[in-house]
């Protein structure tokens, strides 16, 4: 491995590692990016089947200023969603419920008691001291009551984390809402005072989200070592002496900085010989399994982005995205494409059950599954107390100047969060 002075090692070529390496090279830094797999992208991949665009992992991402800036620099054609994308639904008790402040009060998702409980929020008190972390469930109950928690918050959080609101940390998963209630007490009053806008716009790219991966990869192709893993590292005069295995070959080099952007369980393996305590903490980060099912149907006039299902309803799915309804170019004309999410492995689910369920919920006809992908460790679950892990990581980074740990279990799970964290890390001294 040829190394220049001030070489920087980035470990992991998911969206975090790729965008980080891209920005570092833009500053003229000499970077090596090692990726354990034969291709870059991590959980992001796009391919085509029967004329449908199949996006595995994220099917869209938030249109943040940084992602728009990257798309611009990399000449990507952004696909903007139809207006349907701003309409969100909850499917409960065999009925589709539109979610908006008005429909929550006037609609039938919540009982009269459930609707009255929503007003608890207005009486919640502000607090000055940073409170102890709490679960999303406990926060939701205090502000909006149990029914709204079960029928509204739990499905929405299930749609992002595929996780359990009783365990997920308010401090980590919904930090902005926590901050607003700390300042204003009531979330609703806080939203008004701080002029918080709802629904952030989502985007995709012509050719799928993987275009972002390919464009970043193309820019730094010569720096990427595929099928390569860090075997060991130790401090030396330059910074860190690192041994990397690529296929049968082992190479050793010195790096002034190392950025780890791998999942928590992979980082646990790498740093085990150096810091057993942090390694144990990293192994405690749970990952929720998710299976994505790509179901096609005859052209269906389904309104909205898709729907989420309250876990308490006991249906076999977390929700579904009406992909061709929001990005029509992703399906051949005359056809619809839905992505259904479940919390279990592909084997445990019957395609027929999901097809019937989707048909019942949306009225879609001739529904059939054309592809599925199971992620046994899909989404990291920041449970209450996740902040402890941050303390261990900060301590480790202080003891090892030049090492930074990034990735979705630290920086936030959305593609936008990963890209933002990579940008700040690349531009930090």
In the complex, the residues that contact ligand FAD under the rule CB under 6 A are: 11-17, 34-37, 42-44, 57-61, 229-230, 261-263, 266, 270, 290, 292, 375, 378-379, 407-408, 413-416, 418
Q: Is the CB of 137 or the CB of 264 nearer to ligand FAD?
A: 264
Minimum CB distance to ligand FAD, residue 58 (Å): 3
Minimum CB distance to ligand FAD, residue 172 (Å): 14
Contact 89, 96 (CB under 8 A): yes
d(C-alpha 388, C-alpha 405), whole Å: 15
d(C-alpha 147, C-alpha 154), whole Å: 10
Q: Is the CB of 263 or the CB of 382 nearer to ligand FAD?
A: 263
* Closest-CA residue to 422 (of 20, 2, 15): 20
Minimum CB distance to ligand FAD, residue 4 (Å): 21
Q: Is the CB of 91 or the CB of 293 nearer to ligand FAD?
A: 293
Minimum CB distance to ligand FAD, residue 292 (Å): 5
Q: Is the CB of 279 or the CB of 292 nearer to ligand FAD?
A: 292
Burial zone of 243 (CB within 10 Å; 0-12 exposed, 13-18 middle, 19+ buried): middle
State the DSSP string of 380-429: EE-BTTTHHHHHHHHHHHHHSTTEEE-SHHHH-SSHHHHHHHHHHHHH--
Minimum CB distance to ligand FAD, residue 166 (Å): 22
State the DSSP string of 185-199: S-HHHHHHHTT--SS
Helix axes 415-427, 15-26, angle to 10 degrees: 30
Q: Is the CB of 242 or the CB of 367 nearer to ligand FAD?
A: 242
Minimum CB distance to ligand FAD, residue 228 (Å): 7
Task: Report the DSSP pairing between strands 88-92 and 202-205.
Answer: unpaired
Q: Is the CB of 343 or the CB of 362 nearer to ligand FAD?
A: 343
d(C-alpha 182, C-alpha 52), whole Å: 46
d(C-alpha 405, C-alpha 269), whole Å: 14
Q: Is the CB of 103 or the CB of 243 nearer to ligand FAD?
A: 243
Q: Is the CB of 187 or the CB of 295 nearer to ligand FAD?
A: 295
Minimum CB distance to ligand FAD, residue 111 (Å): 31
The neighbour count for residue 283, using CB atoms within 10 Å, is: 14
Q: Is the CB of 38 or the CB of 112 nearer to ligand FAD?
A: 38
Q: What is the number of alpha carbons within 13 Å of residue 126 lying toward its C-beta?
A: 8
Q: Is the CB of 12 or the CB of 114 nearer to ligand FAD?
A: 12
Q: Is the CB of 418 or the CB of 426 nearer to ligand FAD?
A: 418
Q: Which two tokens stand for residue 190?
A: 């806080």
Minimum CB distance to ligand FAD, residue 410 (Å): 9
3-state secondary structure 196-208: CCCCCCEEEECCC
d(C-alpha 227, C-alpha 225), whole Å: 7
The maximal CA–CA distance of the chain, rounded, in angstroms, is 69
Q: Which two tokens stand for residue 339?
A: 């992505």
Minimum CB distance to ligand FAD, residue 225 (Å): 9
d(C-alpha 80, C-alpha 205), whole Å: 8
Minimum CB distance to ligand FAD, residue 266 (Å): 3
d(C-alpha 78, C-alpha 217), whole Å: 18
Minimum CB distance to ligand FAD, residue 328 (Å): 18
157: CB partners within 8 A, 6+ apart? 136, 163, 165, 168, 173
């Amino acid at each position: 491995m040829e190394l220049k002075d001030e070489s920087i090692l980035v470990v992991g070529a998911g969206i975090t590692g790729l965008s980080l390496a891209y920005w570092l090279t833009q500053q003229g830094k000499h970077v090596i990016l090692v990726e354990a797999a034969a291709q870059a992208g991590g959980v992001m991949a796009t391919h085509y089947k029967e004329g449908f665009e199949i996006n595995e992992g994220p099917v869209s991402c938030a249109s943040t200023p940084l992602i728009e800036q990257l798309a611009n620099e990399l000449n990507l054609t952004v696909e903007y969603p139809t207006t349907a994308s701003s309409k969100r639904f909850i499917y409960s008790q065999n009925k589709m419920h539109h979610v908006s402040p008005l429909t929550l009060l006037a609609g039938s998702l919540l009982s009269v008691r459930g609707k009255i409980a929503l007003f608890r929020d207005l009486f919640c008190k502000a607090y000055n001291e940073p409170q102890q972390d709490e679960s999303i469930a406990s926060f939701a109950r205090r502000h909006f009551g149990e029914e709204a928690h079960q029928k509204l918050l739990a499905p929405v959080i299930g749609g992002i984390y595929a996780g359990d609101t009783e365990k997920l940390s308010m401090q980590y998963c919904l930090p902005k809402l926590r901050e607003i209630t700390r300042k204003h007490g009531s979330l609703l009053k806080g939203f008004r005072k701080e002029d918080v806008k709802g629904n952030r716009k989502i985007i995709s790219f012509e050719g799928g989200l993987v275009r972002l991966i390919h464009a970043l990869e193309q820019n730094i192709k010569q720096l990427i070592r595929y099928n390569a893993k860090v075997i060991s590292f130790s401090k030396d005069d330059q910074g860190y002496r690192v041994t990397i295995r690529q296929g049968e070959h082992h190479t050793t080099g010195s790096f002034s900085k190392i950025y780890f952007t791998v999942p928590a369980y992979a980082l646990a393996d790498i740093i085990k010989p150096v810091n057993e305590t942090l390694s144990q903490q990293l192994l405690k980060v749970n990952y929720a399994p998710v299976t994505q099912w790509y179901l096609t149907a005859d052209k269906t006039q389904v309104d909205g982005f898709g729907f989420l299902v309250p876990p308490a309803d006991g249906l076999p799915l977390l929700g579904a995205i009406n992909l061709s309804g929001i990005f029509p170019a992703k399906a051949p004309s005359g056809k619809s494409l839905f992505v259904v999410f479940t919390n279990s492995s592909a084997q445990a689910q019957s395609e027929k059950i999901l097809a019937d369920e989707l048909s019942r919920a949306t009225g879609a006809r001739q529904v059939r599954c054309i592809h599925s992908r199971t992620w046994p460790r899909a989404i990291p679950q920041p449970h209450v107390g996740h902040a402890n892990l941050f303390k261990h990581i900060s301590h480790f980074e202080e003891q090892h100047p030049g090492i930074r740990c990034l990735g979705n279990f630290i920086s936030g799970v959305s593609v936008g969060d990963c890209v933002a964290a990579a940008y700040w890390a690349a531009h930090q001294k």
